[in-house]
């Protein structure tokens, strides 16, 4: 009898995107266009309270938000494509997008395509603050259509966790469906 050993999980490929002319940017574009799920996280340099006061005065009294400097994007690929250099179906390449090095207009076009697509599930973790800072960073590119359609995983997880603390008779069908989709086992 031959023992079947499971394949170890592959680590995701990580690409640092610093130029619109780079192969990494082409991979990012292709991955976003061929993804069923995209997860996002934004990073920025904190602004100290004195810097906020100074920048608010310069902006005519309106509040100033930090500029997002790094956008992390993980993609779940759904189809093979001869132009797709990233990986195979089901893989999850991760892109670290340097928003300081890239023209915002090139990144904006990719993000806009993804955010308006109803076939892409968009995930974030405590994404509300990221949304505010991304909106501020990309404000010169136009309206931020679709960023409000990101599912916040922390809210979803806490909702499921709270339901797990209640008796089984209190479960609503939606919670059970979500837990199945996320492969979360609820304890009855």
Residue 4 domain-assigned (yes or no): no
Residue with tokens 């492969």: 183
Number of domains in the chain: 2
User: Looking at per-residue confidence, does 140 or 164 come out higher?
Assistant: 140
Question: Could you tell me if 49 and 38 are in contact, meaning their C-beta atoms sit under 8 angstroms apart?
Answer: no
Give dist(CA 157, CA 44) in Å, integer. 25
pLDDT (tens digit per residue) in 20-68: 999 999 999 999 988 888 999 999 988 776 555 455 445 554 567 899 9
Domain membership of residue 24 (yes or no) is yes
Give yes or no: residues 99 and 162 share one domain.
no
Global confidence as pTM: 0.70
Using pLDDT thresholds of 50, 70 and 90, give the confidence band for residue 100: very high
Mapped onto helix, strand or coil, the DSSP state of residue 23 is helix
Task: Taking residues 131-158, report their average pLDDT.
Answer: 75
| Cα distance between residue 175 and residue 61, in whole Å | 44
The answer to whether residues 144 and 159 belong to one domain is no
Res. 14: pLDDT tops 60: yes
Q: Quick one: pLDDT at residue 4?
A: 38
Domain assignment of residue 166, given as a range? 153-188
Same domain? 144 vs 157 = no
Is 127 in the same domain as 158? Answer: no
Q: Assess whether 142 and 172 both reside in one domain.
A: no
Is pLDDT of 78 > 50?
A: yes
Does 178 lie in the same domain as 142? Answer: no
pLDDT of residue 21: 96
Same domain, residue pair 143 and 88:
yes
Domain membership of residue 9 (yes or no) is no
pLDDT for residue 20: 95
Is the residue at 8 inside a domain? no
Q: Report the alpha-carbon angle 34-92-85, nearest 5.
A: 55
Question: In 3-state terms, what secondary structure has residue 162?
Answer: helix
**Residue 40 sits in the same domain as residue 116:** yes
């Amino acid at each position: 009898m031959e023992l079947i050993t499971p394949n170890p999980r592959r680590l995701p490929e990580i690409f640092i995107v610093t130029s619109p002319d780079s192969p990494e940017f082409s991979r990012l574009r292709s991955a976003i266009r061929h993804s069923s799920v995209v997860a996002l996280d934004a990073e920025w340099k904190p602004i100290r309270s004195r810097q906020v006061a100074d920048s608010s005065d310069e902006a005519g009294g309106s509040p100033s938000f930090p500029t997002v400097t790094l956008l992390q994007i993980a993609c779940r690929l759904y189809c093979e494509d001869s132009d797709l250099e990233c990986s195979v179906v089901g893989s999850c390449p991760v892109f670290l997008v340097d928003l300081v090095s890239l023209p915002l207009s090139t990144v904006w076009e990719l993000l806009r395509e993804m955010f308006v697509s109803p076939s892409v599930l968009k995930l974030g973790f405590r994404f509300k603050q990221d949304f505010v800072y991304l909106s501020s960073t990309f404000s010169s590119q136009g309206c931020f259509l679709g960023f409000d359609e990101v599912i916040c995983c922390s809210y979803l997880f806490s909702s499921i966790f709270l339901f797990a603390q209640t008796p089984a008779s209190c479960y609503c069908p939606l919670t059970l469906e979500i837990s199945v989709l996320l492969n979360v086992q609820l304890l009855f």
